[in-house]
Structure 1
Amino acid sequence: MSARGGRRIVLWRHGQTAWNLESRFQGTTDIELTDVGVAQARRAAKLLARLGPDAVLSSDLKRTTATAAELAAVTGLPVTYDAALRESFAGDWQGLTHAEIEARFGDQYAAWKRGEPVRRGGGELETEVADRAAPVVERAVEKLPPDGLLVVVSHGGTIRTTIGRLLGLAPGSWEALGSVSNCCWSVLGQGVRGWRLLEHNAGSLPEPVIGDDV
């Protein structure tokens, strides 16, 4: 990652839950962390604290608030909670495994995987998730000092759509960003031409970038 010289956003996914282990689509269902998930959050918080965050913003669901609490404990920073950062609402898909979703909603599931706009289980479009989440992140970033760092604690789908929106990518290509593992994070840096993706699905402190485009 480039030396600190502009605003940065760390988008941090929550720790492990029981439904993660069972490959169940969680959506807005309020699932707690497992003991492993708490340990993951505690380890990651110690690393992220070393980046010197200026503010912490979190989804208000239990799995994210518990994750954010570990960073607050290390840094002493208050956490701001916002329901706009919740995971995508996926209607009838929520609580089902991906195999069950594919069996019951095969055409819809396949269309979603192709990047087509789909109301999964009658829920939100991915663009609607970005519509609610990205502006909250942008407003929080604007309050930072010129070289400030914001940590956003959220969910895999919301993180992907928010990154896609902030980078100006076409919605159909957001799936190309790939998933973020439990308690891993992605980093965006503010450049002269907008936001840049500096790290994706990271679990360790970033190394300085030395290259022709820096």
Structure 2
Amino acid sequence: MTATRVILIRHGRTTWNASARFQGQTDVPLDDVGVGQAQRTADALYQELVGTDVRILSSDLSRAAQTARALATKLHVEVGLDERLREISAGEWEGLTRDEIVKGWGDDYDAWRRGDVELRLGGNGETRNEAAERCASAIVEAEKAMDSGTLVCVGHGGALRGAIFSLLGTPAWPWHAMEGLRNAHWAELQYTGQGWRLSRYNVN
């Protein structure tokens, strides 16, 4: 027996989201808007999950952990932290705006926009595939450890989208085939005898 329901939540907004700066693994907390977003998401999911068996796992970066704790507090459960759920490391791009990245790494930025999964971000960061695989591994490991109920994983837009591609067995899909998760929105997957199935996406 395994858990049949997995909910993947992107963290709420930060000041770097608001100013369109690459965050990567830089630990930027939620801003006031993000705190409100996390609470509204917690309120919505509480209605679905209250009274059921729930495990919550989060990236150890504060913006994700804050979002996770908003829901955990309502459900009276603990939050487990797993660094494998962190956002893709963006190397020297972290903290920079699009214009600043284009100025210094124009060709690489164009490749990233096209969805290149083997481009190493910021010169010394990760590739999309690397981030996707480590994030997916955390989700699969946690799901297999559950006999029933719902696994909630809170993380980051890039890593979670890549993990979804990986879990669905479609890592070669063009990146633009699926829009990014918006702040404090979630996706829902189910594990069946035939593999993973995406049932909802960008829900709030």
What is the TM-score with the length of structure 1 in the denominator?
0.88
Amino acid in structure 2 at the alignment position of 1:136: A
Sequence identity (%): 43
Per-residue deviation, 1:173:
2.3
Q: Which residue of 2 aligns with 1:131?
A: 133
* SS of equivalent residue, structure 2 residue 96: coil
Looking at structure 1, the residues matched to 191 and 40 of structure 2 have their Cα atoms a distance apart, in angstroms, of: 27
2:21 is equivalent to residue 24 of structure 1:
yes
Looking at structure 2, the residues matched to 172 and 6 of structure 1 have their Cα atoms a distance apart, in angstroms, of: 26
Looking at structure 2, the residues matched to 76 and 140 of structure 1 have their Cα atoms a distance apart, in angstroms, of: 19
2:8 is equivalent to residue 11 of structure 1:
yes
Per-residue deviation, 1:6:
6.4
Looking at structure 2, the residues matched to 72 and 118 of structure 1 have their Cα atoms a distance apart, in angstroms, of: 36
Q: Which residue of 2 aligns with 1:211?
A: none
Q: Which residue of 1 aligns with 2:151?
A: 150
Amino acid in structure 1 at the alignment position of 2:126: E
Looking at structure 2, the residues matched to 198 and 174 of structure 1 have their Cα atoms a distance apart, in angstroms, of: 19
Q: Which residue of 2 aligns with 1:206?
A: none
2:32 is equivalent to residue 35 of structure 1:
yes
Q: Which residue of 1 aligns with 2:143?
A: 141
Per-residue deviation, 1:172:
4.7
Q: Which residue of 1 aligns with 2:80?
A: 80
What is the Cα-based RMSD across aligned positions, in Å?
A: 1.5
Q: Which residue of 2 aligns with 1:58?
A: 58
Per-residue deviation, 1:27:
0.3
* SS of equivalent residue, structure 1 residue 50: helix
* SS of equivalent residue, structure 2 residue 166: helix
Amino acid in structure 2 at the alignment position of 1:130: A
Contact 1:134 1:162 in 2 (8 A): yes
Looking at structure 1, the residues matched to 158 and 166 of structure 2 have their Cα atoms a distance apart, in angstroms, of: 12
Q: Number of paired residues?
A: 198
Deviant stretches of 4+, over 2 Å: 170-175
Q: Which residue of 2 aligns with 1:183?
A: 184
Per-residue deviation, 1:164:
0.7
Per-residue deviation, 1:99:
2.4
Q: Which residue of 2 aligns with 1:192?
A: 193
Amino acid in structure 2 at the alignment position of 1:99: D
Change (3 A) 1:93 1:24: same
Gaps of 5+ in 1: 204-214
What is the TM-score with the length of structure 2 in the denominator?
0.92
* SS of equivalent residue, structure 1 residue 196: strand
* SS of equivalent residue, structure 2 residue 133: helix
For residues 24-59 of structure 1, give each alpha carbon's deviation from its aligned partner in whole angstroms, at most 9, with x where no partner exists: 000000001111111110110011122226100000
Contact 2:38 2:184 in 1 (8 A): yes
* SS of equivalent residue, structure 1 residue 60: coil
Looking at structure 2, the residues matched to 51 and 99 of structure 1 have their Cα atoms a distance apart, in angstroms, of: 41
* SS of equivalent residue, structure 1 residue 160: helix
